[in-house]
Chain A
Amino acid sequence: MGTGYCWRCGGSDPESLFCKYCNSLQAPITDYYNFFGLPKKLTIDLDDLQRRFYNLSRSLHPDHYTRATPQERQYSLEATSILNDGYRILRDPVQRAEYILKEAGFDIGEQRSKDVPPELLEEVFELNMQLDELRSGDEDARRPLEESRERFTGLQQDVDRQLVGLFLAYDSARSPEAAHKALADIRAVLNRRRYIRNLLREVDKELTARPV
């Protein structure tokens, strides 16, 4: 409720989906965490999130507003689309992190993941060589490439484990500086993760393009 007042009865009830006086649906809150009634933490209980999603769907979905006023039908449509968008983003750890990063002012463009993370420079170089060899028809490069692929898949799993730890660091940060530092670390790790994922996609494309 942007204005803090109910559009229908005029009652003052800031920050709620339904007016506590006349129970009519209000203009939806657009912040996903507020919408779900969750604290702004990176660690989320997925079962709890799903339960909230189902309950909110039941009370907001346009199917239940067919006979309501046009204003409520409009709010229902908007609220449900926020609900669905929010659920999609909050239930995926990476999108969840990107959401918080964006809110905190971090830039998370795709462009950043085009740069090779420095600690991976050597492995990436080797992998690219193997890719080129396979592309030019050298089947001997296949085994080494598959092994590199295994290594990178392992790295990807390491990254995901790292994220869990960093999420906890953010959630338990005692000061804005600590929180900001945690977010900066998370952004670096996300870049690495995206880079590795793109690389693996390239490799898989090559490996399946020429089935043995």
Chain B
Amino acid sequence: MTDSIQRRSGPLFAAPALLGLVVFVAVPFALAVVLAFTNLRLGSPLPTEFVGAEQFRRIFAEPAFVRALLNNTLFALVVVPLQTLLALALALLLHQRLKGRAFFRTLFFAPVVFPLSLVAVVWVLIYAPGPEGMMNGFLRAVTFGAWIPRDFLRDPVLALPAIMLTSIWQGAGFQMVILLAGLQGIPGELYEAAAMDGAGRWGQFQHVTLPQLRNTLSFTVLVTSILAFRLFDQVQIMTRGGPRNATTTVMFEAVQASFGRQQVAKGAAMTVVLFLVVLAITGVQRWVARQGREVG
């Protein structure tokens, strides 16, 4: 009897969520792939037809899109290691019996509850040009007056690093909490055993903490890398992709194409590229995780 009830309740329980995933993820995703191979452009007199990989050829011939991909990659290459190291350092500092631990943890986590759009707006003023800007004032103070004020967000070299710093400030706390949880999950006996074997603090870190934290680290690296390729909010608010495409991203270009210029098919092709990048990152992470399991 129980079995027949189970057979009926299984699909019933899963149905609402599955329906949602199909209607709001699977169908639009299939649509994105199909659209990417057409020439659909709203308001165009041409009939919509399949054009093969034409859109992909076109976007990769567009300097703005290539620059966007490059910017996302650069963003990931800089932000992922820096933010991970910072988060790891903070987590290790907080994983000691220190007074005021909860206070510091709350403080580092606080930016995470700031919506990115608010963060972007606040940091626009932090990066204000001229000596009255906060970042300029700070850099002048720490260089004992040697820093010459710059207009960060309109500077082709500094604009992208400025957005990177903003993102690290907002995102590090989340990574820290996850890593802190990972640290708390490491059994104390492992440290005791390592200490018995004569391992110092660095040795314990190398031989116990890092290997035990491997999965947690690879998870946070995965999440941060994917976020790096989804970058949009900060760019839209702080720089609108400028100056001269110095901060444009794949998503910013896709929104510009789809909504600014009504080139729906081209926008879809760009998002398909974004998906392929995310898929590749996830694949690499799973592969690394599997290697770790086989070794460990």
Our verdict on whether A and B bind, yes or no, reads no
